[in-house]
Structure 1
Amino acid sequence: MPGLIQLINALNAYVRIAWAVIWFALWGVFLYEFYLIVDKFLGYPASVTISLGYKTRAFPMVTICNQNPLRYPIVQNNSTYAEVNEIVKTYKELAQNGYGNVSGNPYNVNDYPDRFTKQTILQQAQVLAMSQITDDQKAYAGYKLENFILAYYYNNAVVNSTFFKEFIDPTYGLCYQFNTNDTGTTLFTDRAGSYFGLRALVLVNTEVQRAKKPYGDCEDNVTLNYYTGLNYTLTYCFRSCIQQKNIEACGCANPVYYKPDNVSYCTVDDLDCVFAQKTSQTDGSNFSVVASCGCNPACSDTDFDVILSVGKSPASSYSPLANLNPSYSCSVNSTLFANEAACITWFKTNSAIINIWYDGLDYTLQSEGSSYSLSTASNDLGGQAGLWVGISLVSVIEGIVFLIFVSLYFCFGRRHTDVEITDGIRTTDSRYNIMKGFKEELDTQDLMDDEIAIRYRAFKMRDEIKRMERIQAGERLNALAVAKAKQQKQPTIMEKLLDSATETK
């Protein structure tokens, strides 16, 4: 680490103190940034990406039920449906009395003060009573498809009853589902509009893909889910939770919801317990599925924004079932109505035309995913470490290795193992032979280096002797030249003048 090196190699105490302050300050900033990065990553933030698309759409499964679960003319004098008849009689008397008290207080309806609660407990009693009737008996008294749906189209073409699957709902009796894919074929539509549907208005289809844990709270499956044969949804989780609460409190299952195989449905005798699970509608003690069940939305689901429009039917210029169902037709050949006007009046009172279609094939895809991945966090961490303290991943690894060796030293200390090397080991161990050859090569190289050094010193000494001899010869020649010059030297004019002056005196 550069700062630590400067701290160690400082020239004096003042420089060392300055580097110490800088080093600790930068480490403090880095540790704070490190905390922010880790805290953000462990928060598992998620982001939603929205994209628009257009494609051929699978037509949704449509369920049609009659609000009357059983046909009253069949059940009113049939002992098999005695409990249902008793509930109907109680409801009639309740309505006639203005939702006041009923004689005999059947199903404890007089214990509840308001109309809503009395209606609700009778509806619950009806569900419990129907749970004790076999499916064949429900089907016998229920409304068949041909009893309340007289004609059906898809993509403006007539379809038959094979496109509908019959099933029994605990509240509505016989219901029918269109486009269930039981035959292995799912109906698609590649055009929008009222002519290209089941004949309610679907405007926008939204597909949602949520992020799984830890970036989101969606579920693909949960342990407590009695709707095992269906794709997991938030609603199914809520229903399973409510059923579990009912089983724990009453020892039986509410017929409205799916149940485990080893639990039986509740009967009318369990009505008070089952209804008590709904708790009061006024004192705030309602069981909260959101707070108590811990359910999360599915990781991938499809939601439809539905708009319902209502209009009068049939139109004044429309003759119902003119060619499709002659027995109910308003044509002149019909035997059920006195005239066409009476037929149209009956249809206005007793029928409804349901049109279901896509208003557009565009859809919105909402994908939830991680907005701060491990890769992003590591990049940020590396950038902060390099910026503030000048370290990298290699530095971290070196530090870890150093700490490991220090720990091993303190735990075990130095260990010396003496190994006796025999002649057999020397001759057979390739490593020893390699090292021996390497040593011999080094020894030879040392001898050559010594010989070269001796020769170098000899040559240098010879050169030094020759140099000294040249210097001495030069000095002798110089001395001879000086002596000879003194012997041959003539007096100068100045010297002669001085000599003459001296003689005159």
Structure 2
Amino acid sequence: MEPMVNGEIQQEGLSVTADVEEFRPNKSSQDLLKDMYLDACEDDSTSTGASFTTKDAIFAGKKESTRFRGLWKIFSKYADISSLNGVPFIMQSRHCLVKVAWSLLLVGAIGASIFHLYYLFSNYFEYQKYSQVQLKFDSLKFPAVTICNVNMMRISQKRFASEEIQSLFQTEIKWNSSNKSLNNTTDSEVNKKAYELDNEEIQHIADDDDLVPDMSNPCLLEWVKDKERELCQHCSYCWDQGQLSNSSLYEIDDYFQYLFNKQSMDIRQQIGHQKEGLIRMCSFAGRMCGYELFQQVVSPQYGNCYTLHHENFTSRKSGIAGGLELILSLETDEYTPAITSDVGARVIIHEPGTAPFLDDNDIAVSPGMHTFIALKKVEIIRIGEPFSSCISESHTVLDYKYTKPACQKACEQMHIKDRCNCIDSDLDQSMTNTTMSQCKSKEDLKCLYQVRCELETKKDSCNCTDLCRESTYEKTIATLQWPTDSYVNYIRPSVCNGSKPPSFCKLNISNAALRDELVKLNIYFGDLNYEELADEPNYEITNLLSDIGGSIGLWIGMSVLSVFELIHLALEIIRYFSWRKWRKRAEKRKQDKEKTKEGVINS
């Protein structure tokens, strides 16, 4: 038996020698023996129908290492071909300290790259922007121009007004008649006058319960002159400063405004100034334009206003010759006494189709003056989401194109309507699309002030944002005295020409009186160059990708192809584990078949 054993050993040794000779150029004998050893372990572990032998017991502790043999080969192969810096040194180095050092360097570089990438992505998702200013030149569409006479109601039409307005004027006449000699009265006589009046005429207004809170306050007459105000201070019903204070609602002009806006739209249009009386001459770029082109707009502050806009109005040259020229007749003889304190007109220049808000950015023009308004267009272009929440031009606010002021005023009016069940007479009623009554009682006004206060402290409650594209107009204003005495007779026929000439045309008034009736207005582009203020992304996706490549290239030497190498490595690992799982299942099925056969034979 021993020679046979020795023969087997010798034969096996020859086999080993042959194997060694065959792989000598690629592997050392130590590595070759290690592979054979692991193969033997694997062969023994997969043999079927055999009992647990002595050889299995010897190599039982090594079975776990065989699981990672194929995985180790995959990583070794990747290390040989990887373009990722540091990985080949980790896999190929023979000394443990070198492997640890390169591993630490690689982990540190990966950590630094991740931190750098976090900074880059944070910078990108902040969506920062910057404004770029460009100077462009082109023919320019002429903006809309809205004109209002500062007098809300023609005094000759007061018979068509409400009884409250007529009563107010009767009270005002009595008050004026009782104070004709007030300017000639000494200060010591003022006190005596106060008791003689006994508040009777003033109390006529104060008895109206629908006016404002605590209508026993006779100091509504704060529109009067200094001595009249001093007289009012002796009244016995002056307003308590601890209550709703110093609002313009308690002054007579605002009370008149309240009564005026309380009337129907048809009455307001009828008793206000008409466009054929206000617009006496109109021309654009040297071509005449009639008052028929003006569209009526009713303002809560000024009554009838008129807007001029035409699609064909385009300025192709700068200066007065390429703009709009108007001559206005103010009809000062129609001004309401003690109500209208100023003489002139209000002008607002705005984008076509937008609502004119005369208290926001209007221009006052005076009689007897030639006013020049030179415009410079500024076009603003904003970036939409995700850089800003601007709104496109297609949005509207009721009957008007969207603007941020229109949105804010409509929002304020809607809040007042919903909370107080009334509307604010100071705001344009067209912003609500409702016929609800105005706020007038004490409870209404308290609610109104509370809503206003809340909206002022919570600016974002209305969620009104800017337009993505809008145009604004910078204005340069100059004035000259107009007309000269010699020019009055020249313009009188053209001003008085028309179906409804103003009343002064029928009177032989002086040149100075005529000067106080007329306003000349020129609106034009001072230059056809315009500014385009456009938002641009401060950090675009192309910049992000470039910086990502620079970051990972700087820290770990990766490129796009290196990413695909990692993907290929992941697929190889998945393939390896899938193969092992399939192999185990196949071996298990084989073992089950062998056991079944043995059971049949034994039986």
Which of 55, 77, 82 is the aligned partner of 2:163?
82
Q: Is the 8 A contact 1:204 1:359 kept in 2?
A: yes
Change (3 A) 1:139 1:246: same
Aligned position for 1:71: 154
Aligned position for 2:482: 313
What is the CA–CA distance in structure 1 between the aligned matches of 2:387 and 2:174, rounded to whole Å?
Answer: 57
Please give the secondary structure, in 2, of the residue aligned with 1:314. Answer: coil
Aligned position for 1:473: none
Q: Is the 8 A contact 1:46 1:216 kept in 2?
A: no
Please give the secondary structure, in 2, of the residue aligned with 1:31. Answer: helix
Matched, 1:381 2:548: yes
Aligned position for 2:462: 293
Q: Is the 8 A contact 1:152 1:159 kept in 2?
A: yes
Matched, 1:147 2:260: no
Aligned position for 2:316: 190
Which of 421, 425, 438 is the aligned partner of 1:251?
421
RMSD (Å), alpha carbons: 3.8
Q: Is the 8 A contact 2:410 2:432 kept in 1?
A: no
| Percent of aligned pairs sharing the same letter | 18
Change (3 A) 1:381 1:324: same
Change (3 A) 1:277 1:415: farther
Matched, 1:137 2:309: no
Which of 117, 129, 145 is the aligned partner of 2:247?
117
Aligned-pair CA distance for 1:126: 4.6
Which of 58, 62, 84 is the aligned partner of 2:141?
58
Which of 101, 112, 124 is the aligned partner of 1:29?
112
Taking the TM superposition and a 5 Å limit, the aligned residue runs for 1:346-365 are 346-365=513-532
Residues 418-453 of structure 1 show CA distances to partners (whole Å, capped at 9, x for unaligned) of 9xxxxxxxxxxxxxxxxxxxxxxxxxxxxxxxxxxx
* 232-241 or 290-299: bigger deviation: 290-299
What is the CA–CA distance in structure 2 between the aligned matches of 1:116 and 1:354, rounded to whole Å?
Answer: 36
Change (3 A) 1:58 1:91: farther
Aligned position for 1:47: 130
Q: Is the 8 A contact 2:248 2:254 kept in 1?
A: no
Matched, 1:215 2:387: yes
Taking the TM superposition and a 5 Å limit, the aligned residue runs for 1:458-497 are none
Q: Is the 8 A contact 2:375 2:523 kept in 1?
A: no
Which of 99, 108, 126 is the aligned partner of 1:16?
99
Change (3 A) 1:348 1:325: closer
TM normalised by structure 2 equals 0.58
Taking the TM superposition and a 5 Å limit, the aligned residue runs for 1:261-300 are 261=433, 263-267=434-438, 269-270=440-441, 273-274=444-445, 276-278=447-449, 287-288=456-457, 290-300=459-469
Q: Is the 8 A contact 1:107 1:122 kept in 2?
A: no
Aligned-pair CA distance for 1:88: 5.7
Which of 298, 302, 316 is the aligned partner of 1:168?
298
Q: Is the 8 A contact 1:50 1:367 kept in 2?
A: yes
Aligned-pair CA distance for 1:209: 0.3
Larger Rg: 1
For 1:246, give the aligned amino acid: I
Residues 119-163 of structure 1 show CA distances to partners (whole Å, capped at 9, x for unaligned) of 566566555544443332222211111222222222234321222
Q: Is the 8 A contact 2:419 2:447 kept in 1?
A: no
Please give the secondary structure, in 2, of the residue aligned with 1:201. Answer: strand
Aligned-pair CA distance for 1:189: 1.2
Q: Is the 8 A contact 2:283 2:324 kept in 1?
A: yes
What is the CA–CA distance in structure 1 between the aligned matches of 2:486 and 2:105, rounded to whole Å?
Answer: 92
Tell me, which stretches of 5 or more residues in structure 2 are unaligned? 1-83, 183-189, 218-238, 326-371, 499-503, 587-603
Matched, 1:107 2:212: yes
What is the CA–CA distance in structure 2 between the aligned matches of 1:3 and 1:94, rounded to whole Å?
Answer: 100
Tell me, which stretches of 5 or more residues in structure 1 are unaligned? 329-333, 419-505
Which of 281, 286, 289 is the aligned partner of 1:156?
286
What is the CA–CA distance in structure 1 between the aligned matches of 2:320 and 2:148, rounded to whole Å?
Answer: 22
Structure number with higher strand proportion:
2
Residues 325-347 of structure 1 show CA distances to partners (whole Å, capped at 9, x for unaligned) of 4469xxxxx96343xxx431112
For 1:362, give the aligned amino acid: N
Taking the TM superposition and a 5 Å limit, the aligned residue runs for 1:412-423 are 414-415=581-582
Change (3 A) 1:276 1:316: farther
How many correspondences in the alignment?
398
What is the CA–CA distance in structure 2 between the aligned matches of 1:409 and 1:165, rounded to whole Å?
Answer: 82
